[in-house]
Amino acid sequence: MLVCKAITDIPQAARGGVVCIGNFDGVHLGHAAMLENARATARSMNLPMLVVTFDPHPMRLLRPDTPRPYITTIEQRLNIISRYDPQAIWLIAPDREFLNTSREHFEEHILYRALRARCLIEGRSFTYGRGALGNTQTLREAGAEYGWDVVEIPTASAVLGDQTLVDVSSSLVRWLIGHGRMRDAAILLGRPYTLAGKVIHGRGRGGSILGYPTINLACEQHIPADGVYAGRALVAGHVYPAAISVGVNPTFGDGQRTIEAFLLDCSDNFYDQTVELAITHWLRDQERFPTVELLTRQIGRDAARVKALSARVEHHPSPSYAHAQEGK
């Protein structure tokens, strides 16, 4: 995977071809349709494919007071994009100067002179240039002068677990995650929602008091609604079924929101290592138990459900969770 952080780093072999530009946060079904179309177009025209994306998101500079948590880490995003076989990914770190670029300058100096674009693959909501004055229509008009084609990808749609037909968007994915609807989020993403972060030290209650040692994750992504979930952990090249707790540990009154996971059949602490937690099913709300013994019993029941769900996924390894019957 060749990631270029400056336009001068983009090799000549990646220029003069099919260009696909977007934030791609989440790399959901709509993004996947764009990237797959770009790959197919590049192959049919015998041209290179170049993907252009941004980190941080431009809106973090334009609207710094508006929270915009990421769905995917930049490492996850680049890894997923790379599966579509681009010759290179141009990762732009936008600054005020870049965001102040006029659409005409972007068309002539970046797309035409620097990238030598022959075809651009974009979604209907694509905008560019100062004030977001550029769109797919102005891109087509510029193409008449500069010699590129524009393919506009229709908005992707999907059917949620309750049979609601929705347009796929990063905003809707965030909303579903924020409401604990992990199966529906997985439908729009085409895969389970996955948190990634370093393992940090917690309060040590899991193993010493409850008998269920947990790992605590430091994470900057969009955090699901408070609750207990089933999922799996990927760490050190191994995959473990995991019971995942998001919230403030109401039984102990901690007050600080944490992400903890009990990895079945694993007692390692993995401190300072990177762990990915794929969250697949909602199990229950967080609850304040009157005694530690009752909490321990409930954790045991949670672990048993995680084990059962994990066995079902292993026997039916579908990338879609649209037909799962348990939880949100």
Residue 262 host element (H or E): strand 258-263
Final residue in a domain of this structure, among 101, 125, 154: 154
126 in a domain, yes or no? yes
Query: Tell me, what CATH number does 204's domain have?
Result: 2.40.30.30
**What is the 3-state composition of the chain as percent helix, strand, coil, each rounded to the nearest 5?**
35, 25, 40
204 and 73 in one domain? no
User: Which pLDDT score is estimated for 212?
Assistant: 86
Per run of 10 residues, the mean pLDDT along the chain (length 328 residues) is: 95 98 96 98 98 89 79 96 98 92 96 98 94 96 98 97 96 96 97 96 60 89 96 94 90 78 90 95 91 89 94 54 37
User: Which pLDDT score is estimated for 64?
Assistant: 78
Phi/psi of residue 9, nearest 5 degrees: -85, -15
225, 257 contact by CB (below 8 A) = no
Is the bond leading into 56 cis (omega within 30 degrees of zero)? yes
148 and 197 in one domain? no
User: Which pLDDT score is estimated for 209?
Assistant: 53
Say how many CA atoms lie within 13 Å of 225 toward its Cβ: 18
Number of domains the chain is built from: 2
45 in a domain, yes or no? yes
Tokens of residue 39, six digits: 């790959």
Domain encompassing residue 104: 3-154
pTM: 0.89
Final residue in a domain of this structure, among 154, 181, 214: 154
261 in a domain, yes or no? yes
d(CA 291, CA 146): 71
76 and 8 in one domain? yes
User: Which pLDDT score is estimated for 69?
Assistant: 86
d(CA 201, CA 208): 14
197 and 83 in one domain? no
User: Which pLDDT score is estimated for 68?
Assistant: 77
Query: Tell me, what CATH number does 18's domain have?
Result: 3.40.50.620
Tokens of residue 64, six digits: 């710094």
Q: Tell which phi-psi region holds residue 276, choosing left (phi > 0), alpha (psi between -120 and 50) or beta.
A: beta
DSSP string, 3-44: EESSGGGS-GGGSSSEEEE---TT--HHHHHHHHHHHHHHHH
